[in-house]
Amino acid sequence: MRDFVLGLTVSYLLGAIPTGYLLGKIFKGTDIRRHGSGNMGATNAFRVLGKSLGTAVLLGDILKGILATTVVADFFHLHDVIPRVILGVIAVIGHNWTIFLGFKGGKGIATSLGVLIGLTLSFSGLRLVLGVCVLSWLVIFLLTQYISVASMVTGIVLPLMMLITKQSMEFILLGLVFCVFILFRHQANLQRLSSGKEPKVPLPFFQK
């Protein structure tokens, strides 16, 4: 029990590291929350901080999910499915509601991806789920040029793929939790989409 509690604590604090905020402050002297959409995730980081730092934020947020379900789990001897899943969820909670910035964080897409990658490293049966989710995100994004739409659709695809591939109940519940998190964190995007104010991310081959 002691190791489990410590693992939860470390996973939350790891997920709570505000990557976008820190890189913006360190390298640009700017608070990313005061620009663009005001979100600390990779999408706003690309808009506000540029491609290099945006990529660093994306990779950093993904890494948090990977580390929580691999390094943290192994360090505290939490090798079974349920502890690894819980550590992953806690890392995403830390990212979405970080204690370091008044419990206001990102939307958890990159960190959720990191969790899936980390779990796939330990449970190879998730490879198809991971692959379909990544492909789904890419296809929807290329078709719509809306990152928010791609993220929300993929959030719905995740639990469906868990069911279709007959994953264990722990993974199905994980998919449902991530789906709820993603849809909940994108409420403002849904409002902007309905009013036609959601910004697209134009791709070079779509530009005139």
For 52-93, the pLDDT digits (tens) are 999 999 999 999 999 999 999 999 999 999 999 999 999 999
Average pLDDT over residues 23-49: 89
User: Which has more pLDDT, 197 or 184?
Assistant: 184
Does 145 score more than 60 pLDDT? Answer: yes
At 203 the pLDDT is 62
Exposure on the CB side of residue 118, measured as CA atoms within 13 A: 32
**Of 170, 41, 54, 48, residue with least CA distance to 113:** 41
At 128 the pLDDT is 97
Does 166 score more than 90 pLDDT? Answer: yes
pLDDT in tens, 89-136: 999 999 999 999 999 999 999 999 999 999 999 999 999 999 999 999
At 205 the pLDDT is 45
Judge if pTM exceeds 0.75: yes
| Confidence tier at 199 by pLDDT (50, 70, 90) | confident
Portion of the chain with pLDDT greater than 90, in percent: 83
138 CB neighbour count, 10 Å cutoff? 12
User: Residue 91's domain spans which residues?
Assistant: 2-206
Q: Which residue has tokens 């402050």? A: 25
At 87 the pLDDT is 98
Portion of the chain with pLDDT greater than 70, in percent: 97
| Confidence tier at 201 by pLDDT (50, 70, 90) | confident
Distance CA 147, CA 198 (A): 10
**Cα–Cα distances in Å, from 83 out to 89, 104, 110, 166?**
10, 25, 21, 20
8 A C-beta contact, residue 36 and residue 70: no
Distance CA 161, CA 130 (A): 9
How many domains, the chain? 1
Distance CA 127, CA 168 (A): 14
Q: Which residue has tokens 């739409």? A: 149
Does 207 score more than 60 pLDDT? Answer: no
